[in-house]
Amino acid sequence: MAETVFTPSLEGMKHVKAENGVILTKPFLDVCKQILPVLDKFGAAMAIVKSDIGGNITRLENKYSSEPSKYEHLYSMVQEEVQNKTAKGSSSCTNGLLWLTRAMDFLVELFRNLLEHPDWTMSQACTDSYTKTLKKFHGWLASSSFTVAMKLAPNRDKFMEVISGTGDINADIEKFCTTFSPFLKENHNFLLWYPVCSRSLSQFGFLLPQDHRHSLVGFPVIIID
């Protein structure tokens, strides 16, 4: 059977939603984890991104593992934190889900660029994707760190060859972007418009302008003053 580096995640996405349409915690996180091998092929250029994604996956997995039946549905963690008034903590699962979703937005946009702009260098594709997704949430330090990291981006042709495997890489990238994007959009819609959650998020900076945020090297966490 012909496979690319995207094959495991494409298979995993078939199980992300329950029969009633609710996003399931473990299958969603598994798909996010299955993208990490793609980032390995970028080398040092994506080290910060991989670390951020991996850290947020671990945070959510640890919560899920503490009581799988209780946290079977992805948004149950957020709902509980909002009710307990712990959602605004920098180490909360609410924070983790938000930044995991944003990082995955960046990757989807990057994969789209590789598909739609065959003449772009890897650095161009990454920079454009970053500008469209994460940059507006980052301060100067995080943006500068990203710019430096992109100088280490691999050769595009070699990268595409490595991730292609024995399958149709362009077809798999298209399938991944088309199938995974709706899950990310659903996450954003929940975090922004869920009646209780949206009020909580707006109170501690998730919806505030960039100059009201604090960032660390790499992908920032929200720090409450």
Q: Which tokens in the block code for residue 89?
A: 């903590």
Are 114 and 199 contacting, i.e. CB atoms less than 8 angstroms apart? no
Query: Given this model, what pLDDT does residue 90 score?
Result: 85
What mean pLDDT, rounded, does the chain reach?
Answer: 85
Residues 211, 25: Cα–Cα separation, whole Å: 32
Residues 208, 173: Cα–Cα separation, whole Å: 33
What are 66-119's pLDDT values in tens digits?
Answer: 999 999 999 999 999 988 989 888 899 999 999 999 999 999 999 999 999 999
193 pLDDT band (50/70/90 cuts)?
Answer: low
Asked if pLDDT for residue 18 goes beyond 80, the answer is yes
Q: What are phi and psi of 65, to 5 degrees?
A: -65, -25
DSSP 154: P
What are 205-224's pLDDT values in tens digits?
Answer: 444 333 333 332 233 333 33
192 pLDDT band (50/70/90 cuts)?
Answer: confident
Residue 151: Cβ within 10 Å count? 9
Residue type, 224: I
Residues 15, 38: Cα–Cα separation, whole Å: 21
Q: Which residues contact 131 (CB under 8 A, 6 or more apart)?
A: none
Residue type, 1: M
Residues facing 23 on adjacent strands: 17
Residues 165, 4: Cα–Cα separation, whole Å: 5
Q: Which tokens in the block code for residue 219?
A: 């992908």
Query: Given this model, what pLDDT does residue 204 score?
Result: 39
What are 153-190's pLDDT values in tens digits?
Answer: 899 999 999 999 888 999 999 999 999 999 999 999 99
Site of tokens 């920098």: 90
Q: Which tokens in the block code for residue 151?
A: 């100088």
DSSP 223: -
150 pLDDT band (50/70/90 cuts)?
Answer: confident
**Alpha-helix runs per DSSP H in 71-218:** 76-84, 93-116, 122-132, 140-150, 156-164, 169-193, 195-203
Nearest to 112 by CA among 170, 26, 186, 46: 170
- In a 3-state reduction of DSSP, which class is residue 23? strand
Query: Given this model, what pLDDT does residue 2 score?
Result: 75
Query: Given this model, what pLDDT does residue 202 score?
Result: 46
Residues 50, 37: Cα–Cα separation, whole Å: 9
Give pTM, 2 decimals.
0.84
Query: Given this model, what pLDDT does residue 216 score?
Result: 29
CATH class of 7-212: mainly alpha
Q: Bigger pLDDT: 220 or 53?
A: 53
What are 61-80's pLDDT values in tens digits?
Answer: 999 999 999 999 999 999 99
